[in-house]
Amino acid sequence: MPNSGFQVSTLLGCRLVEVTWPQRRNAAEVRDFVFTLYDLWDSEPDVPSVALNDLRAVEAITADEFEIMRVILARMRVQASFVAGAFYVGDNEPVRSAVARALEVAKRPGESLCRTRGEAVAYLRNAIAVRGKAVE
């Protein structure tokens, strides 16, 4: 998506995919982004991964984007390498409500929806620690 930041780094031994969502998007941009995201996850399916999404600038989430978000959230939940994902929205209540609904429909934890980046990273760190204990 233009004007979005898409970075891959590491967090506590996990691949960290960090996305900054732009204020507005069009269908082609969202489609291309989804394919890029799937390619990234599928390229190394054994690498434990977390996702961090910054939605503070998002003006609104359309019905089509909601459905795409729901599908991505549900797909990631069953991917073996997926550890956790987190969203932060600041004071953006309309987007917060839409993401909360998408998380609920996809059966993902509501506590992954945060106000700040710090809270979201703390959520991911905790999820990584919990997963690490489960692997031991």
pLDDT tens, residue by residue, 57-74 = 999 888 888 888 888 888
Alpha helices in the chain (DSSP H): 27-43, 63-78, 93-105, 117-135
The greatest distance separating any two alpha carbons of the chain, rounded to the nearest whole angstrom, comes to 44
pLDDT at residue 136, rounded to an integer: 41
Domains of the chain, each with CATH number or no CATH:
5-135 (3.30.750.24)
pTM of the model: 0.86
- Measure Cα distances from 122 to 47, 86, 88, 109 in Å: 20, 10, 12, 14
Q: Beta-carbon neighbour count of residue 130 at 10 Å?
A: 12
Residue % of the chain over a pLDDT of 70? 93
Candidates 95, 120, 119, 100; CA nearest to 110 is 100
pLDDT at residue 2, rounded to an integer: 43
